[in-house]
Amino acid sequence: MLSLNKERAALSSSGRMERYKLIKEVGDGTFGTVWRAINKQTGEVVAIKKMKKRYYSWEECISLREVKSLRRMNHPNIVKLKEVIREHDILYFVFEYMECSLYQLMKDKEKLFPEAQVRNWCFQVFQGLAYMHQRGYFHRDLKPENLLVTKDLIKIADFGLAREIESQPPYTEYVSTRWYRAPEVLLQSYLYSSKVDMWAMGAIMAELFSLRPLFPGVSEADEIHKICSVIGTPNKDSWADGLRLARDINYQFPQFAGVHLSSLIRSASDHAISLIRSLCSWDPSKRPTAAEALQHPFFQSCYYVPPSLRPKLTTARTPPFAGTRGALEQQSARKVSGTLSSAKLTSSFPSPKLHASIGTGVQRKLDMANQDAKKNDKYLKSSANQQKYRPPGKSSLTSVNKARVPRGVSDASEKLSNMTIGSRRQSVGQTLRPPAMKAGAQWFGETGNLYLRPVQEIQPGRSYSRKVAG
């Protein structure tokens, strides 16, 4: 209780907002306005959300869903809440600043996004969703406007409608912008789950490929009509619970056979179509979880090694000797591989070949050459009898790095030429990075994790008209 009082006093004290200078209003929503601002003390650019409603107590502020949920989450793909300020009964949320939303990128896009770019964005969002759902929350308002982008990094934002998975129903009837609203919510179900986030991601994925919304309904009834026209009318086999929900509100589904998604999303691969189809299943139980979506073949080129499975090594170094002008180059074979298969996530443990090199030690031969061929001959003969360096798991001999050794260091050269590094385990050092991506992406690290960043730059283009419904 004492710590809560201290926190309340610190965050509710007057003058806290004086530390920030508001630069420009960047958004206006139902519950508040968002400003780009700068911290006068540190120079850091932040986003400040000013709530429209008045809050007369600190307890009322910290009980908000957005505050409660974000205080429990810390993930590279979830926007960070830096500070909560209440001044003169006005509530301010201070967030890390992101350059733009996914919607802004789409509406200005002239050419379609390459599949590698869509894959990398979706891979990051699904990682954020998997973490969020694991922490006991689901978002309920996923849409392109709530996915924020800075360069190649994407983050989930706006947790105003977030709900605890274990909370008791009934839930709110209105959830999410209509175009991304799951059918169970459209049919006024009060027992929906985190699978509403997965439906929204299916619709967002399709829109990223085509730059057009997949289900652009103008009302709840029209939204269901649009869904039926694309994926077909549900039946007892595909969604028995949905038929019961429709009967409860005296609604009759329009009859459609549906179309193949590839005819609507021509730029998407077969794996992408397969994932979108599974995400946009009528029955919530048939939609994959976020963790299962990450195992889909669509993400097979995305490699991810969790920190707990990532070995940390230091390469033993050969100490330099005085008077040497040549450079001693050391070699080490490292390889980390992992794939995401359709059946299950394959092991992201380091290759057994890597363990072989750690367990037995790495033999290194220093083959030195002198400008004087006569004096150098004896060193070449002595090193010829030594076993050549072989990378772990390789059968072919590697090329031997050669460095020139000046006269006057022949004794040291001879000793080093016969030196091997014995068997011992390597200790803490640098983190291994996976191999370069083939899909036009590169790796970056944040909070100890590895994530993908695409190489392609985002190009501005033609205007994208959009009617925000709901």
**Whole-angstrom Cα distance, residue 439 to residue 122?**
14
Q: β-strand 147-150 against 81-87: which pairing, if any?
A: unpaired
Please, which residues bridge with residue 93 across strands? Answer: 49, 84
**Whole-angstrom Cα distance, residue 420 to residue 56?**
73
Query: Is residue 154 a contact partner of residue 121, using CB atoms and an 8 Å limit?
Result: yes
**Whole-angstrom Cα distance, residue 356 to residue 345?**
24
The helix or strand, by DSSP H or E, that contains position 85, with its residue range, turns out to be: strand 81-87
| Of 233, 229, 422, 163, the residue nearest 316 (C-alpha) | 422
Q: Given 28, 141, 197, 237, which residue is catalytic?
A: 141
Active site residue 141: yes
Residue 28 DSSP SS3: strand
**Whole-angstrom Cα distance, residue 424 to residue 360?**
7
Is position 21 annotated in a ligand binding site?
no
| Of 135, 8, 123, the residue nearest 77 (C-alpha) | 123
The residue behind tokens 């869509």 is 118
Query: Is residue 13 a contact partner of residue 31, using CB atoms and an 8 Å limit?
Result: no
The helix or strand, by DSSP H or E, that contains position 279, with its residue range, turns out to be: helix 270-279
Q: Count Cβ atoms within 10 A of the Cβ of residue 3 and give its class: 0-12 exposed, 13-18 middle, 19 or more buried.
A: exposed
Q: Which residues are catalytic?
A: 141
Question: Residue ranges for the binding site for ATP?
Answer: 50
